[in-house]
Amino acid sequence: IEEIQDFKGTYPKQIWGLFFSEMWERFSFYAMRGMLTYFMVYHLLMDEKTAQLQYGATQAFVYAFTFIGGLFADKFLGFRRSLFWGGMLMIVGSTLLAINPKEFFFLGLAFNIVGTGFFKPNISSMVGQLYKDGDRRTDAGFLLFYSGINLGAFFGGFVISVGKGTMLSDYIPEHLRWNVAFGFAALMMLISLVNFIFTKRNLGPIGSSPIDTSIKENKYKQIAIYIGTLAAIPLIIKMVSNTDYTDYFMFFIGPFSLIYLFYEMTKNTASENKKLFAALFFILFSVVFWAIFEQAGGSLSLFAAENLHDNLLGFSIDPNAVNNSINSLFVIIFAPIVGILFIKLSERKLEPNSVLKFGLAFLLLGLAFYTFYSISLTADASGKGSLNIFAFAYFIVTFAELFLSPIGLSLMTKLSPYRLQGFMMGMWFLASAYGQYVAGLFGASITPDKKATNLDKLIIYAQGYKDFALYAVIAGVLLIVFVPLMKKLMQEVK
Ligand code: GLN
């Protein structure tokens, strides 16, 4: 492993294999995610509200299962086997959807949900293992990896998703579109795994066996986990298809994961536990971040559909296309640049520490949502405002995201004791699950009445965004106030 971690230059060469596997996985994931609501409304004939709740439930579940995927990887499977198992489940899920999307809808989804849980946290943990403790290039590595995530997200939503104005819809006959689209999602996932088989060869010992060595590696336990996952599928179908169960599940899983963490803490040294408390602090703040950020998929898409001119820098363009893709596009471009900037700053000993990065992320998020609010100041009497300002707000959102999301991944690997790496990565994504969940509530709380005029709608949304801006700024200031305390908890971690 030292051979890998002693690399020269900006990035370890193994990161590219992980970059591409994650890119293909996200390609598949975001293609699927982009189709869900639309499919539920137009083919399963759900009403819009139910479809939205159902969509929210799948998102919450996807990220909640990362907690289980990470935990099992640490203790029984190791990162590689876990990732592989997850990928296979996702292939099965998408293939079922490709065969008969209506018939197998919830079955296919359930496979995809558990599959992502096993895949997603563990590939990120492996990125962390490419670096020695204290290597100043770690954040840049995660920023590059994050660029890969968004490359997948961008093309997934744009090329594969079936819906207005996506490429597939233009070329495939109507009655086959959904089968083909879900089939593509399965194919992407297959490419991801094939790519990983090649990547594996260069990874040395990374991820090959469970990192918690207090438990003996045991084939039978591993097989039991595989069988257990399959046995849990009917239960997951039940929980996803009835959103009341989603609520119960969300009430349960957070407290349960915390209790489990505290139990694990009893086995640690005081210094390890201080770092874990710091990690928990970052995780809690990230819930607030995602709750505001994830308006993107909810209220902001409705806002974009009705309250924006379709004119971006003189070009005519559908505002929803801007809402769905511009953030990914900005991330792809700016993530590596920010990464290299951090390395340069750290060479001059000027790099802000992670708490400050989080604080800045919130201040930028506040600024961005204030910018969304400011669209209302430029609106005309029909309640439509400037798409240019909207795009500019997303530009700011992107930097907020870059200062928090990849840095958070990186922090989890730095702050967790070795044997809890996968578990803590799972906790980080579990926070995303809660963020999505709260985002839905936030979104619903500022959704105007159907009967409202377009201008009224604009004003109601704008007022909501102004409030969110304030929440973000408060969170940012709090973080900055906590810098000294956090530095103590984090010790040598920057
Ligand atoms: N957009 C990122 C991804 O898909 C972050 C997701 C999250 O943590 N909520 O990986």
Residue of the CA atom closest to atom 7 of ligand 1: 432
3-state SS class at 344: helix
- Two structure tokens written together for 206: 């990374």
Ligand 1 touching residue 290 (CB < 6 A)? yes
Ligand 1 pocket test target in 149, 403, 436 with most atoms within 8 Å of CB: 149
Atom of ligand 1 nearest to the CA of 153: 4
Q: How far is the CA of 199 from the centre of ligand 1 (A)?
A: 22
Q: Tell me, what DSSP letter sits at residue 203?
A: S
Say if ligand 1 is within 6 A of residue 432 CB.
Answer: yes
Hey, is 311 helix, strand or coil?
Answer: strand
Helix %, strand %, coil % of the chain (to 5): 80, 0, 20
Give yes or no for residue 335 CB within 6 A of ligand 1.
no
With beta carbons less than 8 A apart as the criterion, state whether 168 and 87 touch: no
- Centre of ligand 1 to C-alpha 269, Å, is 31
Q: Is 328 in the pocket of ligand 1 (CB under 6 A)?
A: no
How far, in Å, CA of 365 to CA of 474, rounded?
11
CA of 493 from ligand 1 middle (Å) equals 23
Cα(290) to ligand 1 centroid in Å equals 9
> HSE (CB half, 13 Å, CA atoms) of 341?
10
Question: Within 10 Å of residue 352's Cβ, how many Cβ atoms?
Answer: 16
**Ligand 1 proximity of 327 Cβ (cutoff 6 Å):** no
Mutate to test the pocket of ligand 1, among 63, 147, 405 (most ligand atoms within 8 A of CB): 405
CA–CA separation, 157 and 449 (whole Å): 29
| Nearest-atom index, ligand 1, CA of 428 | 8
Specify the ligand 1 atom closest to the Cα of 294: 9
Question: pLDDT value at position 177?
Answer: 82
Residue among 415, 426, 326, 453 nearest 63 (CA): 426
Nearest Cα residue to 284 out of 431, 493, 405:
431
281 lines ligand 1 (CB under 6 A): no
Pocket test for ligand 1, best of 58, 124, 330, 432 (most atoms within 8 A of CB): 432
Which residues lie below 8 Å from residue 145, measured CB to CB, with a gap of 6+?
Answer: 15, 18, 19, 22, 124, 127, 406, 409
Question: 60-86 pLDDT, tens per residue?
Answer: 899 999 999 999 999 999 999 999 999
Would you say 66 and 431 are in contact if contact means Cβ atoms under 8 Å apart?
Answer: no
DSSP 8-class letter at 350: -
Residues of the chain short of pLDDT 70, as ranges, are: 160-169
CA of 314 to the centre of ligand 1 (A): 32
Using CA positions, which residue lies closest to atom 2 of ligand 1? 149
8 A C-beta contact, residue 442 and residue 295:
yes
Ligand 1 centroid to 241 CA: how many Å? 23
Does ligand 1 lie within 6 Å of residue 405's CB atom?
yes
